[in-house]
Amino acid sequence: MQALLTQSPLVFIAIAFILALLVGSFLNVVIYRLPVMMEREWRTQAEELVATPATDLPVGRFDLMAPRSRCPACGHQITAMQNIPVISYVFLGGKCAGCGTAIAIRYPLIELLTAVLSGVVAWRFGFGWEAGAAIALTCTLVAISVIDIDHQIIPDSISLPLVWAGLTLSLFNPLQGAEYLFIEPKTAIVGALAGYLSLWSIYHLFRLLTGKEGMGYGDFKLLAALGAWLGWKMLPVIILMSAVVGAVTGILMIVTKRHERSVPIPFGPYLAAAGWIAMLWGTEIVNWYLDLMM
């Protein structure tokens, strides 16, 4: 099997695509439930101070594994056949089998996005542990991006393990200086420190000059994680790409009146997208820029 996956890139890409569809289905659960779990924890802590019960949140066990997925409108329990990524959405006509309420198109889109990005990673790296790690990072970045878009938070329960995972992978460094992942520990540690401190410094400088907060601490931790995975050399590429794309997108959204000027725009998705691009083509981008300047 290993020989087949190594010698047949299309087979490996297809398998990565299908498995990522399943992971994308689970990411939908993470994206919806993790912020709710966090709010329940915050409310519980607040109740100890103000004794105000949280009646608008789920009761009983509620985590990433239980209860079983249900329709938010009627409570219909989603069966295994109704939970097949993308395919179930098509066969159900985009509606709940119990009450006929429309199912948000975002669910199959997240599954497809996860699968497509993972397929690109499989194509770029080829079969091996490096591709497996890159696909895991890709799936995590998808979850972080959508949660940040929905709630403007990047949960520590995702970003901090991502930092430690990058630092841990650097200890193995099986490719000894590969241009992609598995960088040496020193580069990973400096990358994590530089990633966090760079945005931390920008945040405090902006606050001193304007009296406003330009971003959240979750962005610092996300860039620290990307620095731990990709090394400090990729940080300028990530920051520049995310800043440019974020600024252009924000201006367009404000000009077209799709976003209020006073409402903050989440920066995490732009960092995640720039980090993913840097993971795949960062070295080429840096070399192209240096050749252009010389």
DSSP 183-241: --HHHHHHHHHHHHHHHHHHHHHHHHHHSS--S-HHHHHHHHHHHHHH-GGGHHHHHHH
Closest CA to 44 of 30, 32, 59, 31: 59
Q: Answer yes or no: are the C-beta atoms of 74 and 64 closer than 8 Å.
A: no
- The pLDDT value recorded for residue 55 is 65
- Tell me the three state secondary structure of residue 63: coil
Q: What is the Cα–Cα distance from 216 to 161, expressed in whole angstroms?
A: 18
Q: Where are the beta strands (DSSP E) in the chain?
A: none
Please tell me whether residues 289 and 148 are part of one structural domain.
yes
Of 127, 162, 184, the position where a domain reaches its end is: 127
Distance of CA 181 to the CA centre of its chain: 17
Closest CA to 232 of 290, 161, 285, 282: 282
- The pLDDT value recorded for residue 81 is 81
Please tell me whether residues 227 and 280 are part of one structural domain.
yes
Q: What is the Cα–Cα distance from 167 to 277, expressed in whole angstroms?
A: 20
Please tell me whether residues 139 and 109 are part of one structural domain.
no
Number of Cβ within 10 Å of residue 138's Cβ equals 25
Q: What is the Cα–Cα distance from 159 to 163, expressed in whole angstroms?
A: 6
DSSP-assigned beta bridge partners for residue 95 = 102
Please tell me whether residues 93 and 140 are part of one structural domain.
no
Q: What is the Cα–Cα distance from 7 to 26, expressed in whole angstroms?
A: 30
- The pLDDT value recorded for residue 150 is 92
Please tell me whether residues 175 and 216 are part of one structural domain.
yes
Of 109, 127, 145, the position where a domain reaches its end is: 127
Please tell me whether residues 282 and 224 are part of one structural domain.
yes
Q: How many domains does the chain have?
A: 2
* pLDDT digit string (tens) for the chain, length 294 residues: 667 667 778 888 999 999 999 999 999 999 999 998 888 888 877 777 766 666 667 777 777 777 888 887 777 788 888 788 888 888 888 888 888 888 889 999 999 999 999 999 999 998 888 899 999 999 999 999 999 999 999 999 999 999 999 999 988 875 544 445 678 899 999 999 999 999 999 888 888 888 777 678 899 999 999 999 999 999 999 999 998 888 777 777 767 666 566 667 789 999 999 999 999 998 888 888 777 766
Of 127, 148, 181, the position where a domain reaches its end is: 127
Please tell me whether residues 266 and 172 are part of one structural domain.
yes
- The pLDDT value recorded for residue 2 is 67
Distance of CA 168 to the CA centre of its chain: 19
Q: Report phi then psi at 102, rounded to 5.
A: -65, 135
DSSP assignment letter at 105: T
Please tell me whether residues 42 and 119 are part of one structural domain.
yes
Whether the bond into 161 is cis, omega within 30 of 0: no
What CA–CA distances, in Å, run from 197 to 15, 169, 220, 252, 292?
39, 22, 7, 29, 29
- The pLDDT value recorded for residue 280 is 92
DSSP-assigned beta bridge partners for residue 27 = none
Element (H, E) at 87: helix 87-91
Closest CA to 111 of 10, 26, 31, 33: 26
- Tell me the three state secondary structure of residue 72: coil
Please tell me whether residues 66 and 82 are part of one structural domain.
yes
Token pair for 223: 């860039």
Angle, helices 268-293/235-255, rounded to nearest 10 degrees: 120
Please tell me whether residues 217 and 283 are part of one structural domain.
yes
Please tell me whether residues 154 and 178 are part of one structural domain.
yes
What's this model's pTM, rounded to 2 decimal places?
0.88
Please tell me whether residues 114 and 244 are part of one structural domain.
no
- The pLDDT value recorded for residue 204 is 86
Domain that holds residue 220: 132-294
